[in-house]
Chains A and B, each alone.
Chain A
Amino acid sequence: MHLAEGILSGPVLLGGAVLAAVGTGIGLRKIDQERLMTTALLSAAFFVASLVHVPVGPGSVHLLLNGLMALLLGWGCVPAILVALVLQAVFFQFGGFTVLGVNVVIIAGAGLLGSCMFRSRLADAKGRAVAAFMAGFLSVALAALFMAVALVTTNQNFLVTARVVFVAHLPVMVVEGAITMFVVGFLAKVQPEILGLDGSLIKKEE
């Protein structure tokens, strides 16, 4: 889920860059020296996960997992996603410098917003599955919405394109919700510390 270079207008690009810079600043402050390596490793794991194609009907979708990243890393997901996007740009030329900020806002901003309501509910074993599903679902839905908004603010003529973008992501939302739910369930059983459920090894978010 990226926008390529050369599509959006100057003000949209600038707005995205400013928001992404602020978010990255906050995120970097939250990642202290002790958590730098775990953040880097999780970021690498998410990069690998984003290359996985999951079958849906006759086709397949590739995962975004921005909701899961925000659940695990909090604000730290902004620099982590920025790094992943830089790597994708250098490796595959998906996106580039000017659109980087907007793409960070689309993915990380949507992840933070989509999962913020559900992060505290993961501790409760009963509502965990629903909360994780909703976080995954909403994060992709918001990302598609942000992308549509970026397109329409650039040029009114992108309206139909933006609608198609949103509708095309409907199946992705459901798949992301399901995968996020199963990953969170697995982590809660195997290594609850990653979710911050047993705060002995990682510090709780202030």
Chain B
Amino acid sequence: MDFENFSAGTSIMHAADVRLKLIGALFFSVVVALCHSLSGAGLALLIGLVLLAGARLAPLQVARRLLLVNLFLLFFWGTLPFSAAGPAFDFGLLHISQAGVRLATLVTLKTNAIIMVFLALVATSSMVAIGHGLAALRLPNRLCVLLLFTYRYIFVLQQEYQRLRRAALLRGFVPATSLHTYRTYGNLLGMTLVKSWQRGIRVQQAMQLRGFQGRFYLLTPPAVRGRDWLLFVLLLTAASAVAVTELTSRAGGCP
């Protein structure tokens, strides 16, 4: 399983303070999500590409992620151009709606732009850093502890599940579309849940024994450096540029 492929690295994006990256990414995503114009969404995509280049991630893995998201978007390309109302391009029997093509293009631009910014800013931090960053941003502490512990045990439970599954396969289990298959999966998942629940009780007791008060203490409080602020200001400027492009194109009435 390929988790957290992008969090290790030495680029400016990796080195920047996680809190500023989270706020910047949130701000940028919200601006892009509210775009209706193709020019605004197009500019956002360009900025996304620049940020992604700045993160210097493994290109093949990034391409795979983007491919997956765009496969999901194919679903919109498969329906919208043929179903939307309004004037259409006619090719014999085929009516391709202009509004449908425009909507599908807009969605594709926006989705890719936000994903790129997310990859560049959020996926470049480790989950632990994000969890502590969210707590520092005053999200409910219990939620952040829940996030960090869920993350901590995903890998353990993944191995537990795989062990059960391997045992089933060794005993001749062949998944098919049958009630037997669903019962077997039900038992495998049920056993994983039982194990996770029992482990939860043990972890709870162990933490209690060590005086856990529901809060993590950091030995090195994170510090924001000058270049982090510079990146943050650049992000806000980029997001504002998208917003201005969007508003002018709305005022001008062009797409």
Contact = CB atoms under 8 A, between A and B. Distances in A.
Interface of A: 4-8, 10, 13, 24-25, 28, 31, 33-34, 36-45, 47-49, 51-52, 54-57, 63, 65, 72, 79-80, 82-84, 86-87, 89-94, 96-99, 155-161, 164, 175, 178-183, 185-187, 190-191, 193-194, 201
Residue from A44, A82, A91, A156 with most neighbouring chain B CB atoms (10 Å): A44
Nearest to B7: A90
Residue in B69, B142, B182 with the greatest tally of chain A CB atoms within 10 Å: B182
B197 to A, nearest CB: 5
B85 interface: yes
Contacts of B236: none
Given A48-B154, A55-B177, A98-B30, A93 B123 contact: yes
A93 B175 contact: no
Contacts of A57: 177
Ranked 6 nearest A-B pairs via Cβ: A182-B186, A6-B110, A186-B190, A160-B83, A41-B200, A38-B200
A51 B73 contact: no
A39 B191 CA distance: 16
B232 interface: no
B241 interface: no
B190 A190 contact: yes
B103 A10 contact: no
Contacts of A56: 177
Interface residues of B, number: 85
Given A10-B33, A28-B140, A182-B182, A80 B146 contact: yes
B104 to A, nearest CB: 9
B158 A48 contact: yes
B69 A93 contact: yes
A177 B207 CA distance: 36
Most buried by B among A40, A51, A99: A40
A62 B19 CA distance: 33
B72 interface: yes
Contact of A38 (B33, B177, B204): B204
Given A41-B199, A42-B196, A186 B187 contact: yes
B186 A36 contact: no
B107 A7 contact: yes
Contact of A41 (B97, B176, B179, B197): B197
Contacts of A63: 189
Contact of A87 (B142, B151, B156, B203): B151
Contact of A98 (B103, B114, B175): B114
Interface in B54-102: 65, 68-69, 72-73, 75-76, 79-80, 82-85, 97, 99-100
A45 B72 CA distance: 26
B39 interface: no
B111 A5 contact: yes
